Amino acid sequence: MSYDFNNADHQQNGFDLIPAGTIVPLVMNIRPGGAGEGGWMKASQNSDAEMLDCEFVVESGPYAKRKLWQFMVLSGGKLNDKGDSIAGNISRSTLRAILESARNIMPDDMGDTAMRSRCVNGWQDFCGIVFLAKIGVEKDKTGQYGDKNKIATVITPDMKDYSDGGQSAN
């Protein structure tokens, strides 16, 4: 069978990065990697780390449908003096902030309702969750790849940008 591409659109030159400091609503999804309970984790090729392979899609606004990807290490890798995964602790803090942003929970609220709202039944509960985030730019240190967007900060209800839906940002 033959295919005619003469009427296909011209190739796009890619996208400029979302400017650092821009606040956007993101939809989170996890791309299962076949490791860990239920196959939700991805195993590192270079260490004993296991991580979530996360894809984030800008839900609305001028950058709607733009995507960024981040790994969230949950176990393994470098350990602190207590034997806990350093990256795992950072990732768990980020996941907590995502729940607080999505479910409108003040970070210092330790009431029963807030504590229940920070619990999930499994990694699938993060798929489709919508939260606010401030975008950052990660510079490529190798020179092989272009710079890329990343989540700099999850915006939680105790932050000014949460109450105005990020409208005061860039």
Q: What is the pLDDT along the chain (170 residues), one digit of tens a residue?
A: 888 888 888 776 667 899 999 999 999 999 999 988 889 989 988 888 899 999 999 999 999 999 999 999 998 888 899 988 898 899 999 999 999 999 999 999 999 999 999 999 999 999 999 999 999 999 988 888 889 999 999 999 999 999 865 544 44
If DSSP states are collapsed to H, E and C, what string results for the chain? CCCCCCCCCCCCCCCCCCCCCCEEEEEEEECCCCECHHHCEEECCCCCCEEEEEEEEECCCCCCCCEEEEEEEEECCCECCCCCEHHHHHHHHHHHHHHHHHHCCCCCCCCHHHHHHCCCCCHHHHCCCEEEEEEEEECCCCCCCCCEEEEEEEECCCCHHHHCCCCCCC
Burial 119-140 (b: 16+ CB within 10 A, else e): eeeebeebbebebbbbbbeeee
pTM, entire model? 0.86
* Residue 44, pLDDT score: 86
* Residue 9, pLDDT score: 81
- Distance in angstroms (rounded) separating the CA atoms of residues 131 and 96: 11
* Residue 165, pLDDT score: 58
Cβ(139)–Cβ(147) below 8 Å? yes
* Residue 169, pLDDT score: 44
* Residue 14, pLDDT score: 66
* Residue 170, pLDDT score: 43
